[in-house]
A and B are shown apart, each in its own frame.
Chain A
């Protein structure tokens, strides 16, 4: 059987020197592509310890001045490498032999997520076909520390408003450069920007299939949010939110315990039948990123919950997380047969790293093992994952979103 040539080249470096890191990553990607291929565009994700403006020109020069899309990441994953030291530089270089995507940028997130989303949605509506896949990366951090985050749900609402009913498959991430949420940026083609969101509208020939890895189990009865302001939850069932959570996790009242909240639990909203048997695919999880003992509130990564939303306290179950990765990757690969994916993109919540979750092994290592070396893999650790769930694309927490891309003509519907 003739060996299929690569149309996507992957490279990754952990060199602290940004110039050398860029050269090493680009060199690996070009080697994988082969000498006859030119680079049309590239995805690039860099650890938070790198200065984005130093790496980007190197990558562009090495790869032949393509447009480079991506942003900050806590760490990166490829078929053979996996690290989150802050010095990762991971690139996927796409050959000019496959159709090039359309890049759309909104650099006004600071004017409002909804407004930026609408702007993107309008443009996407005009530039895409029904069912196209769009990669979406936005800067998660408005400012900080303490961090104030952009609300992914508002952005997504704005996009859907701009799309005016057009159905697109939106896959992406809210980027962060470190787990302390101090820095983030977006590569928008030829520059690194704050407060930006970039959409990569893939041509229709690009087909994708996505699976979402979960890892949380409900451990409480339903709690009704009775007071909330954006991402800040003040009360469950009329009681201070922080007190309810503390009682649940048996933490003492001292300040040192409070931060452990984010390491132990999330809040999950169950969609569909609330009394249906447990299915991880029915839950949208929200990370607790902060707590405020003064007013008894907790702050979530997203702001999509409302007064009256019923949530459950979710335990982050490491074994479930590992099993989920193994099972869902196998299912996805099986569903693809006999087609061969040209590229795999893994958007992985940074909280799922072994160092953060306490898991015995890296769940991304399971993915690497299941995927093998045939399909070029680029992954990165994110703050928010965006993937289709329960009828539309949503910002998710504590998930791993794996998408496999193939090249095929769209079927007529």
Chain B
């Protein structure tokens, strides 16, 4: 080789070396531009996908838009979204474009797929790659899987670089995963929006279909929402109601009540550092209607709060209580009528008893036998004691209970008049606690007292002896009534046994104590004292 040939070879080598460097630079530049192009594609794809977030479409339509954007941007043949069902270890086609298979087709992978695959002509035909190709209905594909969202995304081509003009590769991960994650964001947002919308629709439907008026207002009573039932309640439309101030809604008295209640609650909020969210205030007010009339309303109102928990407004339910008020008045009227009837009955019973007593008195005028006369007197006293009960009842407030202390005083006075001669020298001491008994216990109690006081008046102080009779009425520690009649007279006969007495009066006492389910105690010294202990109500009634 001569010098010239050596020089030629040298320059050839130099030329080729420079060429190699140039090619390397060109290749690096091309690769950088392809990477930039891929990033631009990813950015464009994500931008376009984000735009569907604002579209007012169903989730299904949303997903189809997503797939169409992917196909347009990547110029791919097919794209699909699949849902993963972990329980069945299967993927189900949810939305697909470009596929001929039916929707909801299910596929079970040989193993759980990874989060990303790029499958091109150089990919090894592993079981999962084969499964993906079968799933994708094409040999070249990109796969992204988000197990947390149970969502997979698939893009496939029949020809490797037909439209992207390059095979799918690992660097495409940013594109396909970016798109999937944006979609998941959108799906979650749409689901939240739909749930909120369903909730709002449900409550709005409820608000717009109930008879009660549901409203919200600021703290100055300016309405921010009024349900359509305001028209039925007041005659005003929603639009008219929204423009009304409180002075156009409530009567002056009601405004006073409402503002005071609000002020009181706000004051409590300031003093106690908060308002009990659970408590609503119920006010009975009067609503002004469009036709100039007023109707009674019941308003349940609760505070709305801002994020700091401070009262920021009011939410309330207004109910027309005209019918309720009418019903209440009717009940009151009916009750009054019944009271009058009952009063009349007691009055008539008392009159009838007095007539009987008068008949006995007239009858006694036809005999002079002291024993018969005494019997007549006893009977008259017994009847009077019962008449006195009915008199007390019809004069009482509730026509059901008798003030026993007052009854005792009147009974004693009555008996003293009856036994005027014997009572002349006797001091009467009544110490009665104020107790009320119903008629079924007041009548036996009255008869018992009548017998015991009569007995003392007739027998304890013979031949004009002076002495003292006392009547006490008190509540025991166990809540029972202790009713006692005592005297410091001659005392009971030595052989006296009140359980086996032959006198009518004491037999009557025994029977009546039994009716009261009571006990009878007798003390002989230092004075004679008979006490009856019984319950205010019958035990059977209590159980009922």
Contact = CB atoms under 8 A, between A and B. Distances in A.
Interface string A273-288: 0000000000000000
The 10 lowest CB-CB distance pairs between A and B, nearest first, are A219-B19, A358-B30, A221-B12, A355-B165, A358-B33, A178-B162, A180-B159, A85-B75, A356-B165, A220-B19
B334 interface: no
Contacts of A48: 162
A386 interface: no
Given A84-B165, A219-B20, 8 more contacts: A86-B162, A180-B159, A180-B160, A217-B22, A249-B20, A315-B19, A318-B26, A360-B33
A351 to B, nearest CB: 9
B161 A179 contact: yes
Contact of B26 (A86, A182, A256, A317): A317
A88 to B, nearest CB: 11
Interface string A254-278: 0110001001110000000000000
B161 A180 contact: yes
B325 interface: no
Contact of A355 (B12, B23, B164): B164
Contacts of A221: 12, 15-16
B99 to A, nearest CB: 15
B505 to A, nearest CB: 118
B23 A219 contact: yes
B332 interface: no
Nearest to B164: A355
Nearest to B9: A221
B122 interface: yes
A250 interface: yes
Interface string A207-223: 00000000001111100
Nearest to B157: A180
Nearest to A244: B16
A21 interface: no
A311 interface: no
Nearest to B14: A221
A170 to B, nearest CB: 29
Contacts of B75: 85-86
Contact of B27 (A179, A264, A355, A356): A264
A248 interface: yes
B160 A265 contact: no
Contacts, number: 84
Contacts of A357: 30
B258 to A, nearest CB: 67
B162 A179 contact: yes
A313 B26 contact: no
A265 B16 CA distance: 14
Give the size category of A's interface with B.
35 or more
Contacts of A179: 161-162, 165
A359 interface: yes
A249 B162 contact: no
A249 B161 CA distance: 22
A216 to B, nearest CB: 11
B24 interface: yes
A312 to B, nearest CB: 9
Given A180-B161, A180-B162, A248 B23 contact: yes
A358 B34 contact: yes
Interface string A340-354: 000000000000011
Interface string A32-48: 00000000000000001
Contacts of A86: 75, 162-163
Contacts of A85: 75, 163
Interface string B16-49: 1011101110110111011001000000000000
A50 to B, nearest CB: 13
Q: Tell me which of B16, B19, B166 has the highest count of chain A C-beta atoms within 10 A of its own C-beta.
A: B19
Contacts of A250: 20, 23-24
A265 B163 contact: no
B273 to A, nearest CB: 66
A391 B455 CA distance: 162
B122 A255 contact: yes
Interface string A234-264: 0000000000000111100001100010011
Contacts of A248: 16, 19-20, 23
Contacts of B160: 180
Contacts of B12: 221
B19 A263 contact: no
A154 interface: no
A398 B371 CA distance: 153
A119 interface: no
Contacts of A318: 26, 29-30
Interface string B399-411: 0000000000000
A219 B165 contact: no
A400 B64 CA distance: 39
B20 A182 contact: no
B121 to A, nearest CB: 9
15 contacts: A86-B75, A178-B163, A180-B162, A218-B19, A248-B16, A249-B27, A250-B23, A255-B122, A264-B27, A313-B19, A313-B23, A315-B22, A316-B26, A358-B29, A358-B30
Contacts of A219: 16, 18-20, 22-23
Interface in A218-234: 218-221
Contacts of B20: 219, 247-250
A359 B160 CA distance: 21
Interface string B371-403: 000000000000000000000000000000000
A281 to B, nearest CB: 21
Nearest to A249: B23
A182 B159 contact: yes
Contacts of B15: 220-221
A218 B438 CA distance: 127
A221 B162 CA distance: 34
B16 A220 contact: yes
Nearest to A313: B19
A249 to B, nearest CB: 5
Contacts of B164: 355
Given A220-B15, A221-B15, A359-B33, A265 B165 contact: no
A220 B21 CA distance: 11
B26 A315 contact: yes
B237 to A, nearest CB: 51
A334 B22 CA distance: 34
B37 to A, nearest CB: 7
Interface string A2-41: 0000000000000000000000000000000000000000
Interface string A179-223: 110100000000000000000000000000000000001111100
B262 to A, nearest CB: 66
Contacts of B165: 84, 179, 353, 355-356
A263 B30 contact: yes
A335 B200 CA distance: 72
A317 B22 CA distance: 10
Contacts of B18: 219
Interface string B250-268: 0000000000000000000
A237 B477 CA distance: 132
Nearest to A265: B23
Nearest to B35: A358
A182 B139 CA distance: 15
B162 A358 contact: no
Given A178-B159, A179-B161, A219-B19, A355 B37 contact: yes
A255 B164 CA distance: 21
Contacts of B34: 358
Given A178-B162, A179-B161, A315 B33 contact: no
Interface in A51-108: 84-86
A221 B12 CA distance: 6
Nearest to A317: B26
